[in-house]
Structure 1
Amino acid sequence: MRTIDVNDVVDNARFTPFHWNVLFWCTLVIIFDGYDLVIYGVVLPLLMEQWQLSPMVAGLLGSSALFGMMFGAMSFGTLSDKWGRKKTILLCVVLFSVTTVINGFATTPWQFGILRFIAGLGIGGVMPNVVALMTEYSPKRSRSTLVAVMFSGYAVGGMMSAGLGIWIVPTFGWQVMFYLAVVPLLILPLIIKYLPDSVGFLLRRGRDDEARRILQAIDPSQSISASDNLALPAAKESKAPVLDLFKEGRALSTLMFWTAFFMCLLMVYALGSWLPKLMSMAGYALSSSLMFLMVLNVGAIVGAVGGGWLADRFHLKTVLVVFFIFAAASLSLLGFESPMWVLYSLVAIAGATTIGSQILLYAYVAQFYPIAIRSTGLGWASGIGRNGAIVGPLLGGSLLALALPHHLNFIAFAIPGVIAAVAVFLVSRRVGEAQAARTAAQPASMASSGG
């Protein structure tokens, strides 16, 4: 009878069809998530015209989903450590899909805002859980890349919103964009069938046979039998997991992660909500303005995948600091009159280094915290960061109400990039590496009975 270290199997596994399966379904969920989130920036110009919304009211409507995301990330991120990743992800998908479809029937700004808040609960709850699940199943040598590739689905969803919006919104109206959110519900049975749960959660719940099947799929060369014990490093369930984020030298780093999330999400959602409107005000047609939003998300995919590749070869901290500096620079230059190809290039760089940095931040947080508090760490970083996402649309509305010169709007969006670069620089690389070393060296003391 053998004792098999689960972490060792996962960390050293080759990329197998099992990994493709997890990557595909997690990415698909994030694509739906990104579509539902970016949809507001796509329909905003038409909503402002149809409902005669002031910039401030439009900003408040944009922030309604983000309030929901804040509470969803913190609550579902923490609860999934008890409920399991899969069950929480499925619940969140149903929540944001159903309410987004209903959102298409809204006839007043109040109805629209309330439904966007409820959808935001599901959108916010999905993100930390798919990141935690992908991190848990990724081989160590390609972990950052796989999380970044998975999370680039957010930008793919944003591109789908922008691309469909260019065709659908002027012709069929904004409501159809919301009706399309029914698609995740149609494929929900497939997600239930093929998306695995966390192997750590399965072992804690005594579902050892399921865990063995998953480990056999992760590494077919293991030939795992019913007599083998499966073990994880001891992970004591805490009654106050949020407090654990501040223990063992993690306090400053936790606060800096929260600051970086706040500033990064402020930039992401300020751009996502107001970029088409700002470009419309600068004299571009609606279709051209939506094209800027599409380019922003194309850049995000390049930034996420490229940043993940760089992080697996250098370090996430270094890559993130450089990305945030480039984000601030590109946004500052975006407000000045330039040839169209220069503007598109700057928007692509901004997408790569703002949305791309958000994705890399999730990967960094997931690798920084031990598995017992990983979803809690991700959920709270994301949840606190949602305050920045809420401020972003409000900031855009306030700037437009002040009627400032065009370039000052973008400089205001760039300042958070500088603050985020400083925050990531102050995260303790030593603490994160010490945690990784402890996890690798700790004896496998949480073993199953072998049936």
Structure 2
Amino acid sequence: MNAAQHRPADRRQRTSLRRIVAIAVVALVFDGYDLVVYGTVVPVLLRDPSQIGHLTPGQAGALGSYALAGVMVGALIAGAVGDHVGRRRVMLTGIAWFSITMGLSALATDITAFGVLRFLTGVGVGALVATAGALIAEFAPPHRRNLYNAIVYSGVPVGGVLASLLALLSSDGDGWRLLFLFGAVPLVLLLPVAVLWLPESPKWLLARGRTERARQVSERTGVPLPASAPDDSEQKSKVGFAALATRRYALATLLLGLTSCSALLLTYALNTWLPEIMEQSGYGKSYSLIFLLTLNGGAVIGGLLASQVADRFGPQRVIATTFVLAAVSLVLLSLKLPLSVLLALVAVAGVGTLGTQVLIYGFVSHYYDTVARAAGVAWCAGFGRLGGIGGPLVGGALLGAGIPVGYAFHVFAGAAVLGAVVTCWVPHQAAEPASPASPAGPLVSGDASVLAHE
């Protein structure tokens, strides 16, 4: 096939990838928005019992954990069904579910209703987070997977930045309700676009034995298919979570879950309690929210830069390094340093917490093959939420006990050190076989040399 014949399929592949990335980014922006928006309103809810009732720091931490418990449930459900029913259905359901429950949260008038809706919102968030990585891994070119994955999951800290900015503009009192109502926007703006533009993964279709349909989608999207489909016995017995329990994946699955657990403990603890910690340290509301903005801004920029390093040298070493950076920055945050230095340290902490979790999702989504990929990412997102659930609870317990706020940073630094150690123990895994030459051709020049390096 000559170069002229390659170009139309090449254009289709680029167009398909851009649409998928755009949809996934916007979905995860609102996931990140939900992650951070609760932390921005915690000070208001603690100080104004007329909103949803009288809250103690411990109760506020528990409310933050309800959403994370929902994320764990949603991620595990998505993993259980995603490798069986496909990526597209799970993504569309997650967008609708998340938007509706987020909007209903704005109407809550008591702690119980708010807590239930936070849990249900988390279910939708978990489904999206667990599926996005699997989807991108099957549409992105192999030598740019970490970068595209980072672009998509950077939507989470971008959502955090958005929540911080809107919180700065909102008023006290009922202003927090408008912040939650804004979270329902994807139902109106994103879902219709996703229904039209989001295709099913041709690799997943092929892995499930739907060969003809896989070829049709591959032709329409320009995405190449693997050299061969899995055999019938693999299709029947080693799909989804069943594949994770095999000797090939079992140890790595446990260690990857613990790695995610460490990163999410740090991420949710800081996003929930950083504004309150900084207020107790003498900074006003605006300054405390600026710290939150800096944390998520650092995660966006640092995560994208680190992903390019990961594409070159492998994600495992980069993740261990960013965990260490997080530990160092968190210890230094407990010291009385100038504001400019504190902001720089918070940005580094953002790279080592949420930025690291972005890299972990990329690592995991490429570690497993197609028939186990959604389950692997779901396990990482779901089991990791145990750390996410613990983060707000630990922070609430420390602040509620009257312990000096700086000590909380030391506890979080310990979790970062644990994450670095566990990451280093994950066994190396052979890369997924590259697709054969296809009509789509490469998205980026130099594919051959990079793939040879991989």
TM-score (norm: length of structure 2): 0.88
Call closer, same or farther: CA 1:207–1:33 in 2, change over 3 Å.
farther
Does the 8 Å contact 1:39/1:158 carry over to 2? yes
1:232 counterpart (223, 226, 229): 229
1:261 match: 260
CA apart distance, 1:171: 7.6
Call closer, same or farther: CA 1:104–1:263 in 2, change over 3 Å.
same
Runs of 5+ unmatched residues, structure 1: 3-11, 443-451
How far apart are the structure 2 equivalents of 1:13 and 1:371?
24
Which residue identity is paired with 1:250? Y
How far apart are the structure 1 equivalents of 2:204 and 2:253?
24
1:106 counterpart (76, 89, 108): 108
Pairing 1:153-172 to 2, within 5 Å after superposition: 153-170=155-172
How far apart are the structure 2 equivalents of 1:314 and 1:347?
26
How far apart are the structure 2 equivalents of 1:241 and 1:202?
14
CA apart distance, 1:249: 3.5
2:394 match: 395
* Higher alpha-carbon deviation: 54-63 or 406-415: 406-415
Give a deviation string over 1:97-138, Cα, whole Å, max 9, x none. 101101111111111100000110000111110110011101
CA apart distance, 1:392: 0.3
Structure 1 counterpart SS, 2:388: helix
Does the 8 Å contact 1:15/1:139 carry over to 2? no
How far apart are the structure 1 equivalents of 2:170 and 2:137?
36
How far apart are the structure 2 equivalents of 1:402 and 1:271?
18
How far apart are the structure 2 equivalents of 1:217 and 1:71?
32
CA apart distance, 1:169: 3.8
How far apart are the structure 1 equivalents of 2:22 and 2:115?
32
Which residue identity is paired with 1:208? E
Does the 8 Å contact 1:331/1:410 carry over to 2? yes
How far apart are the structure 2 equivalents of 1:261 and 1:208?
37
1:312 match: 311
Call closer, same or farther: CA 1:169–1:65 in 2, change over 3 Å.
farther
Structure 1 counterpart SS, 2:407: helix
1:41 match: 39
1:416 match: 415
How far apart are the structure 2 equivalents of 1:181 and 1:150?
18
How far apart are the structure 1 equivalents of 2:98 and 2:365?
24
CA apart distance, 1:233: 4.2
CA apart distance, 1:394: 0.3
* Higher alpha-carbon deviation: 58-67 or 240-249: 240-249
Pairing 1:25-174 to 2, within 5 Å after superposition: 25-51=23-49, 52-170=54-172, 173-174=175-176
Which residue identity is paired with 1:348? A
How far apart are the structure 1 equivalents of 2:259 and 2:11?
32
How far apart are the structure 2 equivalents of 1:441 and 1:152?
27
CA apart distance, 1:304: 1.4
Structure 2 counterpart SS, 1:16: helix
Call closer, same or farther: CA 1:395–1:231 in 2, change over 3 Å.
same
* Higher alpha-carbon deviation: 286-295 or 204-213: 204-213
How far apart are the structure 2 equivalents of 1:31 and 1:347?
20
2:194 match: 191
CA apart distance, 1:179: 0.9
Give a deviation string over 1:170-191, Cα, whole Å, max 9, x none. 3861100011122101121111
Give a deviation string over 1:254-291, Cα, whole Å, max 9, x none. 11111111111100000010000000111111111111
Call closer, same or farther: CA 1:231–1:140 in 2, change over 3 Å.
same
CA apart distance, 1:205: 6.7
Structure 1 counterpart SS, 2:312: coil
Does the 8 Å contact 1:55/1:400 carry over to 2? yes
2:447 match: none
How far apart are the structure 2 equivalents of 1:158 and 1:98?
20
Does the 8 Å contact 1:37/1:123 carry over to 2? no
Count of equivalent residues: 420
Call closer, same or farther: CA 1:211–1:159 in 2, change over 3 Å.
farther
Does the 8 Å contact 1:13/1:139 carry over to 2? no
Does the 8 Å contact 1:169/1:177 carry over to 2? no
How far apart are the structure 1 equivalents of 2:182 and 2:152?
22
CA apart distance, 1:144: 0.6
CA apart distance, 1:441: 9.5
* Higher alpha-carbon deviation: 75-84 or 263-272: 75-84
How far apart are the structure 1 equivalents of 2:255 and 2:213?
40
Call closer, same or farther: CA 1:189–1:13 in 2, change over 3 Å.
closer
Structure 1 counterpart SS, 2:184: helix
Structure 1 counterpart SS, 2:172: helix
How far apart are the structure 2 equivalents of 1:206 and 1:278?
53
Does the 8 Å contact 2:35/2:271 carry over to 1? no
Which residue identity is paired with 1:46? V
TM-score (norm: length of structure 1): 0.88
1:324 match: 323
CA apart distance, 1:348: 0.4
Runs of 5+ unmatched residues, structure 2: 2-9, 437-454
Give a deviation string over 1:331-364, Cα, whole Å, max 9, x none. 1111111111101000000001110110111111
CA apart distance, 1:18: 2.0
How far apart are the structure 1 equivalents of 2:237 and 2:292?
43
1:17 counterpart (15, 24, 46): 15
How far apart are the structure 2 equivalents of 1:278 and 1:261?
24
How far apart are the structure 2 equivalents of 1:14 and 1:414?
46
Aligned-pair RMSD on alpha carbons? 2.3
Call closer, same or farther: CA 1:16–1:239 in 2, change over 3 Å.
closer
2:222 match: 218
How far apart are the structure 2 equivalents of 1:411 and 1:13?
50
* Higher alpha-carbon deviation: 312-321 or 404-413: 404-413
Does the 8 Å contact 1:43/1:169 carry over to 2? no
CA apart distance, 1:215: 3.9
